Chains A and B, each alone.
Chain A
Amino acid sequence: MSEVKKQQINIATGDRPVLPEGAKEIPVYIMGKKYMVPETITIQKAIEYAGYKFIRACGCRGGICGACGTVYRIYGDYRLNFGLACQTVVQENMYIAQIPFYPANRARYDINNTSATADTIMALYPEVLKCVGCNTCSKACPMDIDVMGYINAAMRGDIAKVAKLSFDCIQCGLCSSRCPAQIQHYHVAQLCRRLYGKYLVPKDPYLPERTKQIEEGKYEKMLNELKKLPLEELKKRYVEREMEPATHDGTWMPQETEYL
């Protein structure tokens, strides 16, 4: 107990950020308008601190949905910076603008009638060939994705590579907003990921057998038996059930097989 500092422990604070001791207020500019906000908070919470209530540009608040794409410059520095408002900490004299929506055409397709080949990319997104190799897309990406890398793979028809490189994409659209060739990167990537998952990755070999067993009603009888069990018997079966080891060579089978 002596190792724990005797200070107030904060648990019930809802969404309110707790500021460290000595945190001072710094100026940030929300669409050019100056507000004083405490340092250490994120851009998203700074905008709320200033008094704005989000309808757009706010989703998961946890860096995974892509709603809060933000562009900013620091006063005196010509360079453009990009990030997610919910994950980027404010800096003094930050000039912020959000991009909650950017028009990006998405080509419609029927996944059951589309081939995982270069022809599909050329037919649906021919503009990928106009890539000038500037890499602005990768620089704008808040998820550290090699965006130009996957667009180049798309140009070559290497759908597997597009899928693997683009996996972390949260579809925030910052890449497309900056592209001089007017490519709609994240739609190309989404198409490739689905084609890869459906056509280029082998299907699980056992799944068809298991789904057939279920569709034939194999498990209905034993599930009905479980549904009717008295509580004590159910608890007994729960406590006595065999536990698969966390690590094994892949051949483990339980001793009780009548319910498999």
Chain B
Amino acid sequence: MGYTPEMKELIKKVEATRPARVDKARNGEMFPPLTLEQREEVLSKFHPDYKSEGRRAVKVGPSKGEVYPDEFADVLEAHSRINPDIDIESLVKYETDVLVIGGGGAGSSAALLAQEQGCKVIIATKLRHGDANTVMAEGGIQGATRKPDSPYYHYLDVMGGGHFTNNPDLVAALTNDAPLVIRWLEDLGMMFDKDENGNLKTRHGGGTCRKRMHSAGDMTGSEIMRVLRDEVRNRCDDIEVLEFSPAVEIVLDENGQAAGAVLYNMETEEFFVVKAKAVIIATGGYGRLHIQGFATTNHYGATADGLVIGYRAGVPFAFMHSTQYHPTGAAFPEQNIGLLITEKVRGLGANLLNIKGEQFVFEREPRDVESSCIIRECIERGLGIVTPTGRVGVWLDSPMIDMLEGPGTVEKELPAKYIQFKRYNIDISKEPMLVFPTLHYQNGGLKINDSAETNIPGLYVAGEASGGVHGENRLMGNSLLDITVFGRRAGRNAGQYVKGKEIKIGKLSLEHIRKYEKELKEAGIETDRQSPMLLPDYTRPEIKKAKITHIVW
């Protein structure tokens, strides 16, 4: 294993240009960034979102008429997994104050804050508590915590990254709360990268004008998840976690307010209802729908479940037409195709290089621009490196980092990446990585206001499942921030909503499902598709063919 002889030959070109590039980097000379007009041009020509094939206008629901990727429209134009005529009251198994659907960073933050308001909380999660995209986030969490910085500049960065389409209220909430979240995580015992005096170490990310990326090695998301999960476990008297129990529909009451959800026990195949006075959707992203057939950085359960059930309940979307492809997904070895390689590598100074060993783009453009430039370099200009399995990519020159910041930096700052490549006999402190854009993040989601509320009383959304704060493109480090800021706001507000006045849940209702099925019929949609998808299907066609019947025993 390791690089092939042909690839090692090509790496020599990278090594040949490296000393000059390291000198340039030391002097602060960067490859010239694109102007706003140039950004638009490269996006419109090379970003997968701008292709007309593979997308269609969705025919049902509150955002009817919006154009979404086919893979996403497929799960919206699909039938519910349950019959709306069932006797739903008979399925109630749990009653609680706040039901949190999703056990990642947003869900766990929400649960902690709701509990602090005096609520009893149930977290329902499809896989284990902590199996979420949160752990996949590597490089950092943004926050204007230092003197030369302020939420004002963070706001400008977020808006610019999102092409000025973002919801201003959400951006103001995100940037204002950021330092509070960093403080909260520090208090909970998170091991941020700090110097010996306790000063938080900060770096640039793509599209930032100040160094405000806080990190914990290259495992920032993992560290946040570990800490939040551990704290939830300490509060087990008030917060119950139901694992392997995804939600398949939101339950409303006869007055149209949130009343809980129908959950499905993945292992015993039972359906049951959790009745709750407030519901928070925190189900994350949709990477396992493999938009445009791309490999993904997302975890196994990222199938847009919360989006589907929120949409059926009547919540519209914002920005679901916009998909983020992370510029640097692994393109080699084949076993790790699509694996996330954090933007922190570029933040530490590594260059992106074509087959000739030359730079072709400013390394810290916002992600959609960066991905488009890499796609242009490989596909249109034909200057990418092709692997034995037909993958194409460009070099990410990680050995530069040790030259810029001292020997051992790569191993210290990127421990997870270091070991993931070492397993395949590649030492990333000595050899560059091969990268190509990979499906990473849904920029949009269910529409919320800055209190994480939706248009349905008692229904909140937080994290990647919500839309509007990132506009059409999210910056690095703002996702871990999104989940903690809005997870906390959702939890606090849901908790205050429940404790504030007497919430009376009326008769439980699935009328919204009946309405949705009617809409499907009237739109002429004939399909056996059911959603939420729950898990992607990776069964080979040969195996499927041999499953000639289903045995119930």
Residues of A at the B interface (CB closer than 8 Å) are 1, 3-5, 7-21, 40-42, 48-49, 51, 53-56, 58-65, 67, 87-89, 106, 108-111, 143-144, 163, 167-168, 170-171, 190-191, 193-199, 201-208, 210-211, 214-215, 219-220, 222-224, 226-227, 231, 234-235, 237-239, 241-247, 252-254, 259-260
Contacts and interface: CB of A to CB of B under 8 A. Distances in A.
Count chain A CB atoms within 10 A of each CB in B146, B300, B334, B349 and give the residue with the most. B300
Interface string B13-51: 000000000000010100000001000000000000000
Interface in B510-553: 535-540, 543
A40 B384 CA distance: 24
B335 A260 contact: no
Given A48-B538, A111-B231, A215-B180, A235 B164 contact: yes
B52 interface: no
Contacts of B210: 244
A12 B391 contact: no
A67 B127 contact: yes
8 interchain residue pairs of minimum CB distance: A12-B293, A202-B198, A194-B189, A198-B189, A197-B189, A259-B152, A227-B168, A10-B390
Contact of A12 (B144, B204, B294): B294
A243 B155 contact: no
Contacts of A12: 292-294
Interface of B: 1, 26, 28, 36, 127-128, 130-131, 135-136, 144-153, 155-157, 159-160, 164, 168-169, 172, 175-177, 179-180, 182-183, 186-192, 194, 197-200, 204, 209-211, 217, 219, 222, 226-227, 230-231, 233-234, 236, 244, 266-267, 288, 290, 292-297, 299-300, 334-337, 339-340, 349, 355-356, 379, 382-384, 386, 388-392, 415-416, 419-420, 423, 436, 535-540, 543
A64 B539 contact: no
Given A40-B334, A201-B198, 6 more contacts: A59-B128, A190-B226, A193-B189, A198-B186, A207-B186, A223-B175
B295 A63 contact: no
Contacts of B420: 62-63, 87
Contacts of B180: 211, 214-215
Contacts of B204: 244, 246
Nearest to A252: B148
A211 B183 contact: yes
A171 B226 CA distance: 9
Contacts of B186: 197-198, 203-204, 207
Nearest to A196: B191
Nearest to B543: A51
B145 A210 contact: yes
26 contacts: A3-B355, A4-B384, A9-B386, A10-B389, A10-B391, A17-B335, A17-B337, A58-B127, A63-B339, A64-B219, A67-B128, A87-B420, A109-B234, A171-B226, A194-B190, A204-B200, A207-B179, A207-B186, A223-B155, A226-B156, A234-B164, A241-B209, A242-B209, A244-B149, A246-B349, A259-B150
B188 A223 contact: no
Contact of A259 (B36, B153, B349): B153
Contacts of A197: 186, 188-192, 227
A19 to B, nearest CB: 7
Name the prevailing secondary structure of the A interface residues.
loop
A210 B179 contact: yes
A109 B295 CA distance: 41
B540 A51 contact: yes
A3 B6 CA distance: 11
B299 A247 contact: no
B300 A238 contact: no
A55 B536 CA distance: 11
A246 B182 contact: no
Given A62-B340, A241-B156, A214 B390 contact: no
B149 A260 contact: yes
B28 A247 contact: yes
B437 to A, nearest CB: 9
B169 A227 contact: yes
A194 B36 contact: no
B153 A241 contact: yes
A194 B227 contact: yes
A244 B127 CA distance: 42
Contacts of B149: 244, 260
B189 A195 contact: yes
Contacts of B211: 244, 246
Contact of B151 (A61, A170, A219, A254): A219
A86 B501 CA distance: 49
B295 A13 contact: yes
Contacts of B135: 59-60, 64-65
A43 B84 CA distance: 41
A251 to B, nearest CB: 9
A60 B294 contact: no
A238 B236 CA distance: 46
B179 A211 contact: yes
B209 to A, nearest CB: 5
Contact of B187 (A3, A198, A210): A198
